[in-house]
Structure 1
Amino acid sequence: MRHYTTEKNVQVIIHLLKNSGIRHVIASPGTTNMAFVVSIQSDPFFTVYSCVDERSAAYMACGLAAELGEPVVLSCTGATASRNYGPGLTEAYYRKLPVLAITSTQIQAKVGHHVAQIIDRSSIPNDIAKLSVQLPVVKDADDLWDCEMKVNQAILALKRHGGGPVHINLPTNYARTFDVKTLPAYRVIDRITPTDVFPPLSGKVAVFVGAHATWSPAETDALERFCAANNAVVLCDHTSGYRGTHGIHFALAAGQDMFDPAEMAADVMIHIGEISGDYDTLKASGKQVWRVSPDGEIRDAFRKLRYVFEMPETSFFAHYAETGSATENSYLATCREKLQQVRAHLPELPFSNAWLASRMAHRLPENATIHFGILNSLRTWNYFDLPPHVTSASNVGGFGIDGCLSAFIGASLANKDKLYFLVIGDLAFFYDMNVLGNRHVGSNIRILLVNNGKGTEFTQYAHPGSALGEDANVFVAASGHFGTQSRSLVKNYAQNLGFDYISAESKEGFEAVHERFLSPTASAKPLLFEVFTDADLESDALKTIKNIEKRPKADAVKHGVKQLAKDMLGTDGVNMVKKLMGR
């Protein structure tokens, strides 16, 4: 008796079909879909029908799906077989019938090379499927993750927003072995809407907030009540905007090189907001992630996604605030204690962006807004808290070097009576400097330009570029442009545009002029504060910050061995070793 194929992408499809209760399949003959068809024909869970004509098969699926009120799967081979699904899938599209067309194919790389029976299925008509996904041949952990996500998306789309047909293009490597007796378990993601049954929530709960729109009082209150009822902590950064009592900026603790995410991991992490630049806290993901967003899309930033709640955040938090029964918030207390332990031992930092943050973050004028350049500026300032009524932002959507200065200027136009601050590195500044000549620039802006003469991010001690030594400066870090830290270039440019200009190139120089930059009093002119730092000291400062926490010698050795294993084997190798060890 034959069992399941060894092809992982087919295994993922079968496992998720079974988990979703989708059992009816109409199969057309062929070789390219053999791995899928042979795998299910001996599985008593499935009811498989044969139809030689794919056009008839698609219409049969329409009739069966309409009669049963549940999804029906189609399976065809390569060449033009899938083209014949067109009329039936068009019928399914306009009637919102849940038909899942799985079109098997050879690998995508062969498309366009005159290989027999290969056609291009990367683009389909708009009205034959609600969603079309292209699966990979699974060769590593990244391929498997990609495959799991896309199959989950496809199956969930069959009934989403009224339902309709969905297309999966399934490549094969023509494996002829069908000896997998027990189908492996693959990750299942469920989408929850307000009318569905909500899963139970228990254990330690963290809410991770990515970049977030301005919080309304009702949204903040809903999250506060949720946290109080569910022993929850809110992990946020300077793009999150959350100012409630359960929030904590955890980057300084999570960013320690010796930090073990398992020590502080939540049982469930609730993921709200959009993209986050807080790479350090991203490492502290929970054992399971629930995504909450009105768009209902699968966003698996942590690769641990279990549920997607398609609803407003307030609806989600209100539901679990009513069902939660926590009487104390021990998890928040534990996280705060951990952070305080690290903060208490923060040493004196070299003159750098991080040192500037340590001296100024907590002293920004009340009710001001501060923007950050991506990567180094955002990272280093995330290690330090801002005053409660200071708002903050960063261009973490596209996450490019371009535009952070222009976005900052645009924001400053909203309220001419409010102070707006920007922290930006030299490459990003020069990239976008033309906006300073815009005639709408007001006197309410203050720019901190940290000029280290290159893209210092790319030569930081933990960055791959650091292994290149001086070679990294030539192209990777783009050193030597824009006057190589000229003391007059920016000064003359800013002053000629009507800016006030101050500068510093040491801690003593900074102390002599920085009060002007932080003054809460409105200025007659916009102000540019240029601080010249050394890239090597920038790297030293980051290394110092990330190595505040020291482990006992035995733990340090253990951690070092783990890190060495990761470096040598990679993530896939480590996971394989764990499986072999039964862990």
Structure 2
Amino acid sequence: METYYSDDKNVQILVALLKAHGIRKVVASPGTTNMALVGSCQHDPWFEMYSCVDERSAAYMACGLAGESGEPVVLTCTGATASRNYFSGLSEAFYRKLPILAVTFFVSYYGIGNLEPQVVDRSISPKDTVRYKIELPHIKDDADFRFAELKMNTAILELHRNGGGPVHINLATLRGDFPVKELPAVRVINRITCNDEFPQLPKDAKRIAIYVCSHAPWTEAQTKAVDAFCARNDAIVFCDHSSGYKGKYRVLFALVAGQDQYASPLCFPDLLIHVGELSGDYYTYGRMMSLREAWRVSLDGEVRDTFRNLRYIFDMDEQAFFDHYAKNPVSESMAEDEYLNACLAEYARLYAKIPEMPLSNGWIAKNVAPRIPEHCVLHFGVSNTMRSWTFFDVPRSVVTSANVGCRGIDGALSTLIGASLVNPEVLHFGVMGDLTFFYDMNSLGNRHVGNNVRILLVNNGRGTEFRLYTHPGQRLMGEDADLYVAAAGHFGNKSPELVKGYASALGFEYLCASNKEEFVSVIERFLTPELTSRPMLLEVFTDSQDESDALKILKNLETTAEGQAKEIAKNLLGDSGVRFVKKLLGK
């Protein structure tokens, strides 16, 4: 009988990744549930197979193999109580930091806890037996395949990380045969430390971009390192208002990336270098999901596959990474700032197309962002506020920030106030919507609030995020979304007296505007660059329809035939329909 690899997708991925990561040694105990892995490995000459009937002995054999060879060792057995016998050997491996990869299997989740023969719950292990553990279900589609691929990469990398140690992979398995002659192509993820050989930048990478998400304050040395890297590699730095990077190569690209009917080729670099944490710019972030390859640079060394295309994790300080690749560029003959100049020109071209917009967060951002006083601090609420202001940049001396760690609405006002206490001589502006403001309005009564605080409240009487034309709440429910999804009508339902009375009683200078003329008449006072005697609050009353219309204007500045066709298809079929058609077409 000719036998090859199992038709079990989980096993195929695991075997392919074991080979890609250079793992050869396997200690196998007899059984049925692990047969797909054992059979696949024994018919591939790459693997060194060892048999051991007693699972406890097998675990210690693996310890001896790993300790002597310095190589990872795969340990696999059947279900029932067999895997329980691994614990003593895995404890030994844990304290000796030996790279043992224990692989167990289960038939289905349903059997666990339902008195099915030879089924035990392996979802939890003693703390000092394995340093990392994953459990994966049967693979049903491409999304499951990619997730399994990612998690198995992560597990294998943990065998050596921070000194190394044992890892457990628990897989759902199918009892099929071995008809597969070739393993599937899998994405391999490698972790690079300062002691490893650095990979070369891809020679065919004509466009390289750094994507900086929310980030700790940058040092001058870090900024210089990034600028030197960009200068040597014709690279740019995609930013949002939580990125903090203010060097020469900063690009705010949401206005371009967010176009509904136009996909600028500049949005698709050949290599993306990802630093920082979460993004505050969904539009640029969304475009990055179509990239070929991403490299992650972070001191935490964690696997963060944000863009679904991670190739390397650089477990090191960002400055060390950029210093190395500034000295080792992709090519010695790169064009000087070509990518940067093209991006800046593209942004300027679309910006020049912006027509008059209705009074809205977007209109306010366009008119106020460039006028924020120099050297102040500017905090943003999330959702519609962060989105609207990310279309427009502020002076480079202005420090911008937002609670994008979880992108929740709670605490934006308190965060602004807390930040303002650090340096009472520096103006701290905050821009937020009404739900965000009212959620946290008790913080205005804090006795430490100083005269350096200025709040711009955009009050449209609801969570206008859910009434924008881009949101499923608006598309599926229309005005009915106001009842519970958008939570309209709370907090005085745009009362002209509520915030005025509350803020004034707490010692704030209160300003308000309900139209553009009123806004123009008060904004100069609000933007006074000097500290005033009291904190300020400017309340601007807008309408949800105007907010949606303004966003639609900003996202439809450029139109192409292909973009129009995609937008029509999306409107007719919906998001799920578009995904179905793409799947049929193999895209």
Q: Give the shorter-chain TM-score range.
A: over 0.9
* TM-score calculated relative to the size of structure 1: 0.95
* TM-score calculated relative to the size of structure 2: 0.95
* Residue 241 of structure 2 is aligned to residue 235 of structure 1: no
Moved more, 319-328 or 498-507: 319-328
The answer to whether the Cα contact below 8 Å between 2:459 and 2:494 also exists between their aligned partners in 1 is yes
2:12 is matched with which residue? 11
- Structure 1's 187 and 83: CA in aligned 2 closer, same or farther, altered over 3 A? same
What is the CA–CA distance in structure 1 between the aligned matches of 2:95 and 2:574, rounded to whole Å?
51
What is the CA–CA distance in structure 1 between the aligned matches of 2:507 and 2:344, rounded to whole Å?
45
2:35 is matched with which residue? 34
Aligned residue for 1:357, secondary structure, equals helix
Deviation at residue 121 of structure 1 after TM alignment: 2.1
2:186 is matched with which residue? 186
* Residue 513 of structure 2 is aligned to residue 504 of structure 1: yes
Q: Deviations over 1:32-74 (max 9, x none)?
A: 2222222222122122222222111101101111122101101
1:152 is matched with which residue? 153
The partner residue of 2:296 within 291, 294, 308 is 291
Root mean square deviation, CA, Å: 1.8
Aligned residue for 1:435, secondary structure, equals helix
* Residue 119 of structure 2 is aligned to residue 118 of structure 1: yes
2:213 is matched with which residue? 210
The partner residue of 2:557 within 517, 527, 548 is 548
2:336 is matched with which residue? 328
- Structure 1's 375 and 558: CA in aligned 2 closer, same or farther, altered over 3 A? closer
Question: Residues 52-201 of structure 1 correspond to what in structure 2 (within 5 A)?
Answer: 52-172=53-173, 174-201=174-201
Deviation at residue 509 of structure 1 after TM alignment: 1.3
Deviation at residue 562 of structure 1 after TM alignment: 8.2
Q: List runs of 5+ in structure 2 lacking aligned partners.
A: none
Aligned residue for 1:108, secondary structure, equals coil
Moved more, 58-67 or 326-335: 326-335
Question: Residues 436-447 of structure 1 correspond to what in structure 2 (within 5 A)?
Answer: 436-447=444-455
What is the CA–CA distance in structure 2 between the aligned matches of 1:194 and 1:29, rounded to whole Å?
42
What is the CA–CA distance in structure 1 between the aligned matches of 2:116 and 2:410, rounded to whole Å?
42
- Structure 1's 142 and 314: CA in aligned 2 closer, same or farther, altered over 3 A? same
- Structure 1's 205 and 25: CA in aligned 2 closer, same or farther, altered over 3 A? same
- Structure 1's 227 and 182: CA in aligned 2 closer, same or farther, altered over 3 A? same
Q: Deviations over 1:461-515 (max 9, x none)?
A: 1111112112211111111211111111111111111111111111111111111
Deviation at residue 401 of structure 1 after TM alignment: 1.4
Deviation at residue 129 of structure 1 after TM alignment: 1.2
What is the CA–CA distance in structure 2 between the aligned matches of 1:332 and 1:371, rounded to whole Å?
27
Structure 1 vs Structure 2: percent identity of aligned residues?
53
Deviation at residue 273 of structure 1 after TM alignment: 0.7
Q: List runs of 5+ in structure 1 lacking aligned partners.
A: none
- Structure 1's 274 and 459: CA in aligned 2 closer, same or farther, altered over 3 A? same
The answer to whether the Cα contact below 8 Å between 2:267 and 2:284 also exists between their aligned partners in 1 is no
- Structure 1's 266 and 81: CA in aligned 2 closer, same or farther, altered over 3 A? same
What is the CA–CA distance in structure 2 between the aligned matches of 1:96 and 1:259, rounded to whole Å?
52
The answer to whether the Cα contact below 8 Å between 1:29 and 1:52 also exists between their aligned partners in 2 is yes
What is the CA–CA distance in structure 1 between the aligned matches of 2:574 and 2:52, rounded to whole Å?
50
Q: Deviations over 1:339-369 (max 9, x none)?
A: 1221110111111011110110000111110
The answer to whether the Cα contact below 8 Å between 1:140 and 1:572 also exists between their aligned partners in 2 is no
The answer to whether the Cα contact below 8 Å between 2:361 and 2:388 also exists between their aligned partners in 1 is yes
What is the CA–CA distance in structure 2 between the aligned matches of 1:540 and 1:394, rounded to whole Å?
25
Q: What amino acid is aligned across from residue 90 of structure 2 in structure 1?
A: L
What is the CA–CA distance in structure 2 between the aligned matches of 1:22 and 1:365, rounded to whole Å?
58
1:222 is matched with which residue? 225
Q: Deviations over 1:384-411 (max 9, x none)?
A: 1101100110001122111111111100
2:347 is matched with which residue? 339
- How many residue pairs match? The answer is 577
Deviation at residue 565 of structure 1 after TM alignment: 7.6
Aligned residue for 1:469, secondary structure, equals helix
2:376 is matched with which residue? 368
The partner residue of 2:366 within 351, 355, 358 is 358
Q: Deviations over 1:161-185 (max 9, x none)?
A: 222111111122x241432211111
Aligned residue for 2:133, secondary structure, equals strand
What is the CA–CA distance in structure 1 between the aligned matches of 2:313 and 2:60, rounded to whole Å?
32
Question: Residues 171-570 of structure 1 correspond to what in structure 2 (within 5 A)?
Answer: 171-172=172-173, 174-201=174-201, 202=203, 203=205, 204-260=207-263, 264-285=267-288, 286-324=291-329, 325=332, 326-466=334-474, 467-551=476-560, 553=561, 556-557=564-565, 560=568, 567=575, 569=577
- Structure 1's 15 and 439: CA in aligned 2 closer, same or farther, altered over 3 A? same
The answer to whether the Cα contact below 8 Å between 1:25 and 1:73 also exists between their aligned partners in 2 is yes
Q: Deviations over 1:72-119 (max 9, x none)?
A: 101122222221100000111111111000111233354333333332
